[in-house]
């Protein structure tokens, strides 16, 4: 364990030294290249900032307006048919939209029911087997200017649904 700790402490300084050495061998202006990359990074942040603000406002409105509870009550017959715990539904609904909201809900589930409980295991498996699809698609497509995302969105949401249902089915079978 001490060797792994030592190597992990050396990883970043070694990487920086490797980049500097490579830049000197190739006769590149390393600092100027770094500044160009930082400038490009700031331009990307400026491009995606409006998208991020819109997503954060929409997520806040969804969480605090009561719409989430309404949606869960609306789909309750389907949830009951597939033997999906209703406590997991806020996580399942918000996971494709927001990573921070889903982490908060997952943490709440684990705090309330325990990490080794069936609900805690389902929540952690959902977190590991799904993606913040809408956020990821919105950020990446807005940066490169893609407007037609419907096929990517459908495929990604189907993948999320499969991950969520698999999580529930596996843990219902295992426990």
Q: 160: pLDDT confidence band, cut at 50, 70 and 90?
A: very high
Residue positions counted in the chain: 175
For the chain, the farthest-separated pair of C-alpha atoms sits apart, in whole angstroms, at: 66
Helix (H) or strand (E) holding 4: helix 2-25
- The reported pTM is 0.67
Structure tokens at 104: 């908060």
94 in Cβ contact with 101 (< 8 Å): yes
Task: Say whether pLDDT at 148 is over 90.
Answer: no
Residue (of 158, 88, 156) closest to 127 by Cα position: 88
Distance CA 18, CA 30 (A): 12
Site of tokens 């705090």:
111
Q: What is the 3-state secondary structure (H, E, C) of 109-150?
A: HHHHHCCCCHHHHHHHHHHHHCCCHHHHHHHHHHHHCCCCCH
Q: 34: pLDDT confidence band, cut at 50, 70 and 90?
A: confident
Most confidently modeled range among 54-58, 94-98, 155-159: 155-159
Per the model's pLDDT, the better-predicted residue between 18 and 57 turns out to be 18
């Amino acid at each position: 364990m001490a060797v792994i700790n030592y190597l992990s402490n050396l990883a970043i300084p070694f990487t920086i030294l490797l980049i500097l050495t490579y830049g000197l061998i190739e006769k590149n202006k390393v600092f100027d290249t770094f500044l160009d990359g930082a400038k490009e990074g700031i331009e990307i942040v400026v491009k995606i900032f409006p998208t991020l603000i819109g997503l954060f406002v929409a997520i806040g409105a969804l969480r605090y307006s009561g719409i989430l509870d309404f949606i869960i009550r609306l789909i309750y017959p389907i949830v009951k048919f597939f033997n999906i715990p209703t406590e997991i539904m806020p996580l399942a609904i918000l996971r494709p939209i927001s990573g921070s909201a889903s982490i908060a809900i997952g943490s709440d589930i684990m705090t309330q029911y325990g990490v080794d409980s069936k609900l805690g295991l389902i929540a952690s498996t959902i977190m590991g087997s799904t993606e913040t699809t809408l956020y990821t698609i919105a950020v990446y497509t807005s940066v490169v200017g893609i407007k037609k995302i419907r096929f990517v969105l459908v495929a990604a949401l189907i993948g999320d649904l499969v991950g969520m249902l698999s999580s529930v089915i596996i843990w219902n079978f295992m426990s």
